[in-house]
Chains A and B, each alone.
Chain A
Amino acid sequence: DAGITQSPRHKVTETGTPVTLRCHQTENHRYMYWYRQDPGHGLRLIHYSYGVKDTDKGEVSDGYSVSRSKTEDFLLTLESATSSQTSVYFCAISAQGQISGANVLTFGAGSRLTVL
């Protein structure tokens, strides 16, 4: 998947526990994104980053935090997981912020998280 690695690919955890998902890219792209995918909702943006230590909220950021200490790594943390955060999480990258035909949004393979 175009130099994007997500880990773990599958995780089952219990309500109230912290969870961190990792996205690693080898494309040296400036922009990185975390989406969640749920049936009937398509993809919804959680947080995105436009550079090292530069992040911003998306439309469903409550309950999530992110960090980017290196260009290649973007971490998504659920401080205290809830059952409503059961979802498939996708990391995506782009060279520029303005998504277009020349600046494609490229996705990782996803991380399936189940919160019991």
Chain B
Amino acid sequence: QQQVKQSPQSLIVQKGGISIINCAYENTAFDYFPWYQQFPGKGPALLIAIRPDVSEKKEGRFTISFNKSAKQFSLHIMDSQPGDSATYFCAARSSNYQLIWGAGTKLIIKP
């Protein structure tokens, strides 16, 4: 009930392509869904976030798509660039306001 399942574990995309990372959850009480980006040797940093009353949120090349009925949300990176190579984590906020994290996706963008 408290899990957030993230896939794929790793992803290789050509430069200019679309990167898609998916997350699924079970607990309908989750009410805030952020994505964090982490570069090697650094801590995660907030990238973009969405609330469940919105089906899509876009910030530049990054878009979150949210499907409340399916309890799934995904991160789309358009025109992927080598600088986007990082590990991406989805998360969900639980009723005690703490974040439950997905396992992470290592994204490699090939030039």
Contacts and interface: CB of A to CB of B under 8 A. Distances in A.
Q: Do A and B truly interact?
A: yes
Interface stretch (A13-21, A68-76, A78-86, A102-110): A102-110
Given A98-B97, A99-B99, A101-B49, A43 B42 contact: no
Interface residues of A, number: 24
B102 A42 contact: yes
A90 B87 CA distance: 15
A109 B101 CA distance: 18
A109 B97 contact: no
Contacts of B102: 42
Nearest to B42: A109
Most buried by A among B9, B32, B101: B101
A108 B43 CA distance: 5
A8 interface: no
Contacts of A108: 43
Interface in B63-91: 89, 91
A97 interface: yes
A43 B101 CA distance: 6
B93 A107 contact: no
Given A42-B6, A42-B89, A43-B101, A99 B32 contact: yes
A90 B41 CA distance: 11
A107 B47 CA distance: 13
Given A41-B103, A42-B6, A45-B98, A1 B89 contact: no
Contact of B93 (A40, A92, A99): A99
B43 A107 contact: yes
B97 A104 contact: no
B44 interface: yes
Given A97-B97, A106-B46, 19 more contacts: A1-B42, A42-B89, A42-B101, A42-B104, A43-B89, A43-B101, A44-B101, A48-B98, A92-B43, A98-B93, A99-B32, A99-B98, A100-B32, A101-B32, A104-B46, A106-B45, A107-B43, A110-B41, A110-B43
Shortest 10 CB-CB contacts between residues of A and residues of B: A107-B43, A42-B101, A98-B97, A43-B101, A42-B103, A104-B46, A90-B43, A101-B49, A107-B44, A40-B103
